[in-house]
A and B are shown apart, each in its own frame.
Chain A
Amino acid sequence: MTTQPEGNGTPHSGRPLHGVNVLDFCWVAVGPMTTKYLGEYGATVVRVESVKRPGTLRRAAPFKDGISGLNRSAYFASYNANKMGITVDMRHPRAHELMLRMARWAHLVTENFTPGTMESWELGFDQLKAVNPSIVMFSTSMMGRGGPMERQPGFGPVLSSLVGLTSLTGWPDRDPVNPYGAYTDFIVPRFAVAAILAGLDRSRRTGEGIHIDMSQLETALHFSAPVLLDYFVNGREQSRMGNRDPGAAPHGAFPCSGDDRWVAVGCFSDVHWEGLQRTIAPDGSGWPYNPNFDTLLGRKGNEDELDRLLSNWTSSWEPGALMETLQSAGVPAGMVNDCRDLFDDAQLQHRGHFQWLDHPEIGPYATDTSEMIFSLSPGSLDTPAPLLGEHNSHVLKNLIGLTDEEYKSLEDDGVLE
């Protein structure tokens, strides 16, 4: 029988999820980012991996010194900080019983396989609930469970296209482009953590377990809901506009000095525009004072010319200096940070966005912390991602109480591979 953490009215110095045990079958990106939050805020997260079929991210660049190896991927290491790892051959006949023992220990089981995979191992929600009535199971897949396309395979960036975000990205005179990376993988996890914690709350209140099924398609559609409504009620299909915005001009990314350096600027109000005018032409004369540009409608009507003149002016500026100068004049402006800039960004540094962990094979590596600062129970990233199978002995003996003999027999039988 598991014990759920319960309120006793006394503050503890721990993190919010102190005492929450997570049996984590997640892989690739969307699942591991979700359970990284859980680990960062104090849950005990045990990832189940396979020696025979190591996960995609363990085989993904960048690798330490460019040399591939299952314990050398900084991609994997970043998304799996603060977790422990065990290896189990799920096709071994004894794996099932071992996982049920883990399920008795767990408050939460997470997985993002194609629907049906957990059931094929007889570890579906009904089986988990039979051994642990209050368990919360979280399943997420591209399209959700049930329906004609539940098992459709995919690859990284396609979900951005399926949800309609690709058609909203790029230049109107060119082909649309996918938003960078497997973009929806990084939209879904915040909905996922909120839903998981809501599920744990209900389980704590009612003593009853629950199975949460999250379709990544359905979740990501909330990031374009007004665009969908525009089609449903007005019949309008919105499309990509480059960097234009109907409520602002100028609005875009403008070139700065150096190779591929840019600053983003958006003038939504008279105050913004007047700040820009003053900065470009402090003496109150010159092109910014062309009457064609006096009003928003005037600037929108002559936006190509405005963009050309502004680009000409920005291109002699260093982007950081221009951002500061424009901001001090009250103009919304920001450097287009590349990934090196992110590490140098004064605000991200102020918030401790990147943290370095020391990994036995990679050495010190950067990972991002959460975007939230808690007044009372901060999160922290303390341990690097697990080596493959690193915590087999600790988890199975110390957390679920296998004897030395039981452990050795599993090892000898090839279960822990």
Chain B
Amino acid sequence: MPSAQPGIDFLLSPYRVLDLTDDRGLLCGKILADLGADVLQIEPPGGSPARDIGPFYGDDPRPEKSLFWWAYAANKRSITLNLEQIDGRALLKKLVAEADFLIESFAPGYLENLGLSYEHLASINPKLVMVSITPFGQDGPYSNYQASDIVGMALGGFMYLTGDDDRAPVRISFPHFYLHGSAAGATAAMLAHTYRVTTGQGQYVDVSCQQAVAKTLAHAPQIWDIEGAILKRMGVYRQTSGENRVRINWPCKDGYVNYMVQGGSVAYSTRALLAWAKEDGLDVADLETIGWEELGYGAITPELMDQLGGPLGEFFKGHTRAELVQGSLDRRILLFPVATPAALQGHPQLEARGYFKAMEHPELGTTVKYPGAFIKSGDGGDIAGLYRRPPLIGEHNAEVFQGELGLSRTEIESLKRSGVI
């Protein structure tokens, strides 16, 4: 194996991944690359369609400036291959012979029609682990459905539970449907890898994004199964038990904060907040007489919530988010900011842990800050993380096709002319 990741020794450094995914699967290979695997992103000549997804660097909509691509292709190397040509498939098969993983997100049946099904590839390399990430899985009644983020978030059960109760259900305004399936793809790859380590056998794994979303619903499916009740979306409120709900999201002077009125073991937090409101001159005398210590989780009735809403709403609106967050730390109040990207940029904990990583983009003459490693070692050491800026289209063609597969310059020239690479 070439030293694809110079100078790093992360958890998966010995392994190679062939990544055939588009925007629907990029995160899977990104997770494996962050863990140290050598991930070769295989793009069609002209570049991956994921490069068309904005926003763009400097709002300049070019394939090498897509921030979506940057976020989920960093750490990978890029080669171009046209799988719809015989020579492209032949080169892929050469790479498969030496690869540990292949991940893909084409529509079910696409690779099989090209003679690149798991059976074909396993005949070249029986140890290969192949992971397919699709909206609904390889077969079944929806397998050929047209999907998109909103369709998937709806069918996965997430949307019904999210949003205001007097309007349509909502999705998150940044697409998550394929990210859930892609992250599950990384889990699947590692489970199959573990089986390979003990048995020597590769295998094929079929991942469903719909199922991945349906696994984000906490106990909502159990509420139907056990109680026969259908949980509904509650906007800025959160159900605590039966009819009882508490408001968690409150507007303040310059944004929003999360605060949940609670009694019992965290009554101290409620009392501290009431004391602060009183200092502000708000009338909370009635609220202070309530025996918060005796009110368990879920015991705050809608009537009590109504009584709280006025004075607390007024209190929050009188302060900025920063004031509320700092004051709550000082006074031991369980209150949290509804963060925006600006707040994350200087976040003291992220700064202290050195989370954001500056990567040089020499082709643009600039340096860009990226989200960093999702794990560290317990002593703070690097066992995963960012080491290579996202690749340009086919940036690593020469080092892979010439350096590894031993093609001559003339052969590469021919492949280029015929649109294979």
Contact = CB atoms under 8 A, between A and B. Distances in A.
Nearest to A333: B151
B340 A248 contact: no
A211 interface: yes
Interface stretch (A60-68, A86-94, A286-294, A404-412): A60-68
A59 to B, nearest CB: 8
Interface in A363-403: 365-366, 368, 370-377, 379
Interface residues of B, number: 152
Among A168, A204, A372, the one with the most B-chain Cβ atoms within 10 Å of its Cβ is A372
Going nearest first, the 3 A-B pairs with the smallest beta carbon separation are A211-B378, A231-B341, A371-B211
Contact of A343 (B225, B248, B249, B373): B225
Interface in A192-216: 193-195, 197-202, 204-205, 210-215
A255 interface: yes
Contacts of B340: 164, 167, 237, 239
Nearest to A137: B378
Given A168-B172, A345-B155, A351-B211, A210 B341 contact: no
Interface string B172-192: 111010011101101111111
A2 to B, nearest CB: 15
Contacts of B209: 371
A27 B35 CA distance: 26
Interface string B339-382: 11111110011101101000000000000111111111111100
Contacts of B260: 155
Nearest to A191: B374
B417 interface: no
Given A175-B251, A201-B194, 18 more contacts: A17-B194, A146-B352, A158-B248, A180-B220, A194-B186, A195-B374, A201-B11, A221-B344, A237-B342, A248-B148, A265-B151, A331-B146, A332-B145, A339-B220, A342-B221, A368-B215, A370-B211, A371-B209
A181 B344 contact: no
Nearest to B72: A225
A348 interface: yes
20 contacts: A7-B196, A74-B219, A163-B344, A164-B339, A169-B171, A170-B163, A177-B233, A178-B258, A197-B194, A217-B349, A226-B53, A226-B174, A228-B371, A238-B341, A262-B159, A343-B224, A365-B225, A371-B209, A372-B205, A373-B138
A283 interface: no
A305 interface: no
Nearest to A189: B187
Say which size band chain A's interface belongs to: 35 or more
A228 B341 contact: yes
B27 interface: yes
A317 B213 CA distance: 25
Given A205-B14, A226-B71, A372-B207, A191 B341 contact: no
Interface stretch (A8-16, A95-103, A296-304): A8-16
Interface string A140-159: 00011111111011111110
Nearest to B14: A205
A195 to B, nearest CB: 5
A266 interface: yes
Contacts of B159: 253, 262, 264, 336
Contacts of A333: 146, 151
A214 B142 CA distance: 36
Contact of A195 (B143, B201, B343, B384): B384
B195 interface: yes
Contacts, number: 523
B208 to A, nearest CB: 5
Contacts of A161: 249, 256, 258, 336-339
Given A10-B200, A217-B349, A243 B136 contact: no
B270 to A, nearest CB: 13
Interface string A237-263: 111111111101001111100001011
Given A194-B35, A253-B159, A373-B206, A264 B352 contact: no
A149 B349 contact: yes
B7 interface: no
B187 A74 contact: no
B160 interface: yes
B260 to A, nearest CB: 6
B184 A222 contact: no
A144 B160 CA distance: 32
Contacts of B345: 231-232
Nearest to B175: A245
Contacts of A308: none
Contacts of B190: 193-194, 197-198, 201
Contacts of A127: none
A171 interface: yes
A226 B155 contact: no
A52 interface: no
B198 interface: yes
Nearest to B151: A334
Contacts of B223: 61-62, 339
Given A181-B161, A245-B150, A365-B225, A148 B352 contact: yes
Interface stretch (B55-63, B107-115, B303-311, B395-403): B55-63
A348 B336 contact: no
Find the residue from B155, B192, B377 having the highest chain A CB count within 10 A.
Answer: B155
